[in-house]
Structure 1
Amino acid sequence: MQSYRAPHWLPGGNLQTIWPALWARRVDGAPPVYRRERWTTPDGDFVDVDRIDAADPAAPLLVLFHGLEGSSRSHYAEAFAAFAAARGWAFAVPHFRGCSGEINLAPRAYHSGDFEEIGWMLERCAAGRPPGAALLAAGVSLGGNALLRWAEEAGTTATRTVRAVAAVSAPVDLAAGGAAIGRGFNRLVYTRMFLSTMKPKALAKLAQHPGLFDRDALLAAGDLHAFDNVFTAPLHGFRDTDDYWGRGSAKPHLQAVRVPTLVVNALNDPFVPADSLPRPSEVGPHVTLWQPAHGGHVGFPLGLPPGHVRGMPERVGGWLAQHLPR
């Protein structure tokens, strides 16, 4: 993606974000068919994992962590699934709590810095695999930041679980991203879209656990900062939104990564400001930065109208494949 160029018919970060998610082709042929597993979490909750098995049990497994309010049916997930199938790899999308179509049970949800949950999911994915079978991981947007936080916290132990990781359009500076998505067009379109599903889920959580948070304050929340202040931060052990965004951001800790890591961000991403992205001097030797001028947020469309989104999984997946055993 470092050499990515957007098609001339789709100019600007917003079009390169919205069009791929809604209208671009994801796969050639039928959409992927998943096999769903339900895992019980250490705290007695559950997560749903959608999987595609490989013909060879020892084939590499690609684990994808989705973005905010995403799922295995997000455009990028289906494109990654097609990439993995074409390579003969197994593929898995562990859903963050509440994102698989059924509300989870515990008085918590998920968040951008949820590295402990990422670690548990990766260990569960690795369990039972044949000796030497490789595991690769990619994360998109929120899932990318959480995956990076895991790699940072795991340090030298990360290579016991994965061969390499990649983060696509991750908001590695959560405060900068939160401010950007809360302004102007972004607030009218993206913030409204996210809150339209996040608020009902939060209210369902309140019905499960009366008194968990202030209902009126949640209903009044007009941006992600206010929503996180009422819901996300206190439910996950943070003092407030600023504490959550500060401690959850991957950017300050990229020097600590000890596993091959790719970080992909378009410079015209509508809600990941270019000036918030890491510079080469701010990352360790195990981190590769791809920062193309165009691509939007998890867009990177290619081809003639309606275009397709296969290019990003192919290039990111190809980079991950370079780290498989020869």
Structure 2
Amino acid sequence: MLFHGLEGSSRSHYSRAVLAACTRAGWKCAVPHFRGCSGEDNLASRAYHAGDFSEIDWMLQRFAAGHAGPLYAAGVSLGGNALLRWAQEQGESAAQRVRAVAAISAPLDLAAGGRAIATGLSYQLYTRMFLRTLKPKALRMIAHHPGLADAQRVRAARDLGAFDDAFTAPIHGFLDAADYWTRASSKPHLKRLRLPTLILNARNDPFQPGHVLPSAGDVSSSVLLEQPATGGHVGFAQGVLPGHLDWLPQRLLHFFTHGN
């Protein structure tokens, strides 16, 4: 299973690349959508967030119920952090559910990630793009569930911190954005991982600066840290420009097959 990133879907470039690689290798693969990301309006009173391990758990159970054989799970960006939080909460029992997990370009430290894309070019490229879809979705949910959150604050949000403070945090039981980012971050709990885990972060990822990435002393013996110098945020393109996206799917399949 592949869990997509913030405002991603099964149509995202990385989803299509992984699905194609799995098909060629004879693997079954599914990309479940977080609430509101399938193209249909989310009619529930909750959305999704970077620490949504209960939603991950439900999706894994649903998939496993209909498919025999070993199960592997990967998550990209927000989906990667949520998957790690699931494995951390499950502890020893995680290995009974899935053989291994992989997190690609996950914002392990959400506060650092929020600050990193709140200014400069990253703000122009990423934050504005996310808010362009997040805010209308939130406002439609508020219209469907009056009192769910403060619509005026949602409209006024100019970065993800303000949006999470106005919407993501209160509707999911967090005190504010700072509380959400602290409790949902997977980095403080990486020593709790008890199943084979690949954590892949490029050191030039604008979402997660290299200096905040974990080191070997921050993780359990089950974790393989891979931190190439380049790759950006879920990029890892190879070959002559504009490059191709074959490397990432092949890296995932190799890890799931061989464990390294």
Residue matched to 2:157: 221
1:216-295 aligned at under 5 Å gives the runs 216-295=152-231
2: CA distance, partners of 1:173 / 1:252: 8
The Cα of 1:268 is off from its aligned counterpart by 0.3
The Cα of 1:271 is off from its aligned counterpart by 1.6
Matched, 1:201 2:137: yes
Matched, 1:317 2:250: no
The Cα of 1:135 is off from its aligned counterpart by 0.5
Secondary structure in structure 2 of the residue aligned to 1:139: strand
Residue matched to 1:166: 102
* Residue of 58, 66, 79 corresponding to 1:143: 79
The Cα of 1:306 is off from its aligned counterpart by 2.6
The Cα of 1:162 is off from its aligned counterpart by 0.4
Residue matched to 1:9: none
> 1 or 2, which has the higher strand percentage?
1
The Cα of 1:185 is off from its aligned counterpart by 1.1
The Cα of 1:128 is off from its aligned counterpart by 3.2
* Residue of 61, 70, 94 corresponding to 1:123: 61
| Letter of the 2:59 counterpart | M
1: CA distance, partners of 2:149 / 2:77: 26
1:56-205 aligned at under 5 Å gives the runs 63-130=1-68, 133-205=69-141
Secondary structure in structure 2 of the residue aligned to 1:127: helix
The Cα of 1:98 is off from its aligned counterpart by 0.3
How many residues were matched structurally? 259
Q: Which has the larger radius of gyration?
A: 1
Q: Which 5+ residue runs of structure 2 have no aligned equivalent?
A: none
Q: Which has the higher contact order (CA 8 A, sep 6+)?
A: 1
Secondary structure in structure 1 of the residue aligned to 2:66: coil
2: CA distance, partners of 1:280 / 1:192: 34
Give a deviation string over 1:273-296, Cα, whole Å, max 9, x none. 111111100000000000000000
2: CA distance, partners of 1:113 / 1:276: 18
Give a deviation string over 1:194-215, Cα, whole Å, max 9, x none. 0000001001101111121111
The Cα of 1:305 is off from its aligned counterpart by 2.7
The Cα of 1:315 is off from its aligned counterpart by 1.0
> 1 or 2, which has the higher helix percentage?
2
Using the size of structure 2 for normalisation, the TM-score is: 0.98
Residue matched to 1:299: 235
1: CA distance, partners of 2:214 / 2:86: 17
| Letter of the 2:37 counterpart | C
Secondary structure in structure 2 of the residue aligned to 1:321: helix
Secondary structure in structure 2 of the residue aligned to 1:288: strand
| Letter of the 2:28 counterpart | A
Secondary structure in structure 1 of the residue aligned to 2:228: coil
Give a deviation string over 1:118-139, Cα, whole Å, max 9, x none. 0111111111333xx0100000
Give a deviation string over 1:87-134, Cα, whole Å, max 9, x none. 10101011000000011221110000000110111111111333xx01
* Residue of 131, 143, 147 corresponding to 1:211: 147
Residue matched to 1:48: none
CA RMSD between the two structures: 0.8
2: CA distance, partners of 1:300 / 1:320: 18
2: CA distance, partners of 1:231 / 1:89: 38
1: CA distance, partners of 2:66 / 2:31: 17
2: CA distance, partners of 1:71 / 1:310: 19
1: CA distance, partners of 2:139 / 2:63: 31
| Letter of the 1:79 counterpart | A
Which stretches of structure 1, 4 residues or more, deviate above 2 A after TM superposition? none
